[in-house]
Every structure is written in C-alpha cells, then in structure tokens.
Amino acid sequence: MDDVQKKLLVLLDYWIEHNSEHEKEFRDWADKAASSSSEVAKQLQKAATKMAAVSDELMKAKQALPKSKGRLQDVHG
C-alpha cells in the first residue's frame, strides 16, 4: 500500500463516519419537521437516503484498496 492509498484509507474512514453522522442528523430533523411540514420532512428523508448511498459507494472504494500486510480486513464490508 503506497502513501496515497494509506491516506485514502484514512480519508475514506473519516468520510464514511462523517456521512453517517449527517445521515442521522437529517433523519432526526425530518422527524422534527414532520409535524409542521411533511414536504420538508420528505426531502430531508430523501437526502438522508442519498447520503447513505454515498457512504455505500465510499465503502466500496475502501474495499477496493489493496490490503496491507498485517492489517485486518474490515468485517463490516
């Protein structure tokens, strides 16, 4: 694994976690908005779903990185 790949591994882990936090926040706010605006809630839920899809693609990118010797493979992938 070269330096770029090592940096990508760190970045991908960060981006996946960061997206997960945003997805949860979007869903929380969709729940809060539901009583006053179903359209806002619907759009926030759609955004959360798309954020989850982006995270899935980032996970696929992470899995495509070469495995370094001594590094355990991610069991969640």
Per-residue pLDDT tens digits for 34-57 = 999 999 999 999 999 999 999 999
Specify if 21 maps to a domain. Answer: yes
Does the structure show a pLDDT above 50 at 5? Answer: yes
Specify if 8 maps to a domain. Answer: yes
Specify if 77 maps to a domain. Answer: no
Per the structure, the count of domains in the chain is 1
Specify if 75 maps to a domain. Answer: no
Specify if 30 maps to a domain. Answer: yes
Specify if 72 maps to a domain. Answer: no
Give the model's pLDDT for residue 77.
Answer: 45
Specify if 74 maps to a domain. Answer: no
pTM: 0.79
Specify if 46 maps to a domain. Answer: yes
Q: What domain range is 36 assigned to?
A: 3-64
Does the structure show a pLDDT above 80 at 75? Answer: no
User: What tokens does 49 get?
Assistant: 């779903």
Alpha-carbon torsion, ordered 28, 33, 35, 38, to 10 deg: -110
